[in-house]
Structure 1
Amino acid sequence: MEAGAGNLNESVLFLPRVGSTNAWAKEHLDRFGPIGAVYTTNQTAGRGRLGRAWADAPGQALFCTVVLKTPLAQPATLPLFASLAVADTLHARYGVQCRIKWPNDLLLNGKKIAGILCESAGDGHALLVGVGVNLGQPQAFFEAQGLPHGASLACQGVDVDLDRDPEWLAQYLTDFGFDRALYTYEVEGFAPYRERYKAACVNLGRRVTFDGGSGVAGDIDAEGRLVVRTDGGVQKVFTGEVSVRGIYGAV
């Protein structure tokens, strides 16, 4: 069923249950115009960055994939732009100020509440932004999954309406988080958002460990790379896992 549409070229589709919204979007790209989305609260086979499984809690989280079929000036920075879009959406709904763990994990009070996975589809003619937001799971859920640093908005004291919020969030994320912001981002890339991203990024000023080294993260460059000062000089990190000393016990 369609949850609503902002214009003729946009659809936001709701699925009661699906293996993965990213996989469904890849198989149904013809359902979308230049921008659209598909969402569910019951995703049974989702995954996060680096192939990690995303545990399901039916009815207690939002799983949404935004589909973009518009050329981007700087597509490699989409994960960073997407993290700001999700943070803006959560602020609009709940008034919370999320921090960002480079490149695109969202934290609230030092706990991960949202993750993002960007992929290409349709032989590169489309980009998918998969978003998972923990809405109402109890803390025991994260402990049972071996995720002591995860939490839901409800766990953080946010008043969540599990009946109404998923549709509102999916609509707002598509219409305002992406669609309107794309008028700038698709042409100018990451540059207009760089300073705001840096202000929200928890990595900066902290010691980080990445594939092949460690050092102090000092900047996010114009290409969206994490600039790290190591004993051997400056390294610019763009892929792989980065852990951060001092947030949720990471070292």
Structure 2
Amino acid sequence: MEAGAAVLNESVIYLPQVGSTNAWAKENIAQFGPVGAVYTTDQTAGRGRLGRGWVDAPGKGLYYTAVIKTDLAQPSTLPLFASLAVCDALKQRYGIDCQIKWPNDLLLNGKKIVGILCEVAPDGHSLVVGIGINLAQPQEYFDMAGLPHGTSLLLQGVNVDLDTDPEWLAQYMTDFGFDRALYTYEEQGLAPYREQYKAQCVNLGRRVTYDGGAGIAKDIDEEGRLVVHDESGDTHVFTGEVSVKGIYGAV
């Protein structure tokens, strides 16, 4: 293990600084058991969906990656399951109720508070779930980064303790969000969580646009796909960008 790394317990590793927790987890996959995690508050080379860069504000956010090596019955729905795991952690810590923009962006008061990126490790089997939580970045951070729809917990009036919250959240998400919950999810997939996800999904009932079409989002199907209805019928959308009319000015 590299200098400066600290093991909180047998399953959670803390790094004072790292380029990317997802990249580090994939490069050090052998260090993890069936379920584990690595996190930092200073990520210098993060990456979002579609290869977008993730700009860091040192010490102001939580950058966390869960590692899952167990066999999953429905791995394609992991982004949706992961979003519920983060929602639960934020609810437990701060008493807030986040909404989910399909498939896995978390919103608070109509602005993005969490991004999630799921990837396959080089071994072709293990999965890594990268989670970035905006804890205390100031408004200037989002302005300079060109993120008009982003926000932090602090900006939304949440009482954030940067000394204790990152470790608490990393430990809780590992123990409860992923490890214990996998006893159900790895065998049954999204089914036990589908109604809960739908209740928190901001897309449903709104007009959305996606690669190739537009319509009203009406459901999340058994495979985790967004069901969009238009005059020609239903389309089950699983990949690509989806914009939602009526949230943070998206059209």
Q: TM-score range by the shorter chain?
A: over 0.9
- Residue 48 of structure 2 aligns with an amino acid whose one-letter code is G
Conserved 8 A contact 2:8-2:14: no
SS of 1:89's partner is: helix
Matched ranges for 1:21-170 at <5 A: 21-170=21-170
Number of residue equivalences = 247
- Residue 8 of structure 2 aligns with an amino acid whose one-letter code is G
Q: CA deviation at 1:54?
A: 1.0
TM-score normalised according to structure 2 size: 0.97
Q: CA deviation at 1:4?
A: 1.9
Is 1:12 matched up with 2:16? no
Conserved 8 A contact 1:48-1:54: yes
SS of 1:197's partner is: helix
Conserved 8 A contact 1:77-1:190: yes
- In structure 2, the gaps of 5 or more residues are none
CA deviation map 1:127-150 (0-9, x unaligned): 000000000001121011111110
> In the alignment, what sits opposite 1:2?
6
- Residue 2 of structure 1 aligns with an amino acid whose one-letter code is A
> In the alignment, what sits opposite 1:227?
227
CA deviation map 1:176-205 (0-9, x unaligned): 111111010001100000000000000000
Q: Distance in 2 between matches of 1:183 and 1:11?
A: 17
Conserved 8 A contact 1:67-1:129: yes
SS of 2:129's partner is: strand
CA RMSD of aligned residues (A): 0.8
Question: How many percent of aligned residue pairs carry the same amino acid?
Answer: 72
Conserved 8 A contact 1:2-1:11: no
- Residue 186 of structure 1 aligns with an amino acid whose one-letter code is E
Q: CA deviation at 1:232?
A: 2.2
- In structure 1, the gaps of 5 or more residues are none
SS of 2:80's partner is: helix
Conserved 8 A contact 1:3-1:167: no
SS of 1:159's partner is: coil
